[in-house]
Amino acid sequence: MPQTFNTRITRLFNIRHPVLAGGLMWLSDADYVAAVVNAGGMGFITSRSSATLPEFETQLARCAALTSAKPFGVNLSTSRHSAVPLMTYLDAALSAGVRHFETAGRAPADDLIRRIKHAGGVVIHKVPLLRHAITAQRLGVDAVAIVGMECGGHPGANTDMPAMLGGALAAGRLQIPYAIGGGIGNGAQILAALAVGADAVVIGTRFLAGAEVTAHPAYKARMVAAGEHDHTVCFASNTPLGGAWRVLNNATAREVREREAQGRTDYESFADLTTGTLQRDAAYAQGDVEQGMLSMGPAVAFIDQVEPIAAIMDRLMAEAAAATNRLETLTRS
């Protein structure tokens, strides 16, 4: 699908479509990120999903091969525990030629930004609230992504600000380019995001049943079947794990909610359920979708089949074009 939108973010990342595929723990590996890049967007390998440096380096090399050396990105978590120190992941990515970074979590430290900039790289920092975006802007990031309360995964401190509202407010308050994310799964929403002032969208959930996602067919079938009410939010009020977490409403999530209702607030009370290896091994690898905290949001309702990422991207851009035509019709009449 040819380029239709030319924004500050398509220029910053040198991409055809204003679509960023946010990092997905365990799932945004080389194959997924390469599929996004080859489809005209920008994807980010989650460094934290690699338990060792050699494993991470293998992912980087595989992605470079699958993209025929097109630029691709790496997601760095600035607050969550990583098996390998953050700066070690960063240095490995820079050595492999990666220049595009999505950071998420705490405000990125000066030396992180400086090291990326010094290497000629670009960093977009993902935040749940506009005020965090303003801080990141002051710290010198190139762009920010603001995710609404409806996003899959961790909306952080954002429990009441939808993506479109935050995105519209951002227009008057940010000077740097910004993307908005959360609940976006249809191309008309991309047009709406651009209309309120954003330069791109961040998508996670809509891509979960992509053919190139490394996950069990039963997991993808569950994503196809799920509707907009099949998610739940855990840890909305207490924060043993750092805040709200929007996931598939499955047996694990219900057990977490049950323990929350019993007033348990310490990390140990939930550790057996929230461990990432439960998601990775039981759900993503073996297809038992009742096990593990499986991040997703209401945009899952837009998934209607397993199909290549390029086909999803083409559909999104065709929907954006149809929405543009609709607006033209309305303004002519």
Site of interaction with ligand FMN (CB under 6 A): 22-25, 27, 46, 75, 77, 104, 126, 147, 150-153, 181-184, 202-206, 295-297, 299
Q: CB-wise, 33 or 174, nearer to ligand FMN? A: 33
CB neighbourhood size of 279 (10 A): 23
Of 120, 108, 99, 98, give the one whose Cα is nearest residue 144: 108
Shortest reach from residue 209's CB to ligand FMN, in Å? 11
CB of 242 to ligand FMN, least distance (A): 12
First-last CA distance in the chain: 29
Distance CA 164, CA 147 (A): 9
DSSP string, 122-141: EEEEEESSHHHHHHHHHHT-
Q: At its nearest, how many Å lie between ligand FMN and the CB of residue 298?
A: 7
Of the pair 40, 128, the CB lying nearest ligand FMN is at: 128
110/276 Cα distance (integer angstroms)? 29
**Cβ closest to ligand FMN, residue 12 vs residue 33:** 33
- Shortest Cβ 262–ligand FMN spacing (Å): 27
Q: Which CB sits closer to ligand FMN, 174 or 248?
A: 248
Whole-number Å distance between alpha carbons of 198 and 214: 30
DSSP letter for each residue of 21-52: E---TTT--HHHHHHHHHTTSEEEEEGGG-SS
Check residue 287 and give left, alpha or beta (phi > 0: left; psi -120 to 50: alpha).
left
Could you tell me the smallest distance in angstroms from the CB atom of residue 211 to ligand FMN? Answer: 16
> Minimum CB separation from ligand FMN for residue 184, in Å?
6
In whole angstroms, give the CA distance from residue 243 to residue 178. 24
The residue at minimum Cβ distance from ligand FMN is 204
- 108 or 118: CB nearest ligand FMN: 108
Closest listed residue to residue 150, CA positions, set 203, 108, 105, 194: 203
73 versus 121: smaller Cβ distance to ligand FMN: 73
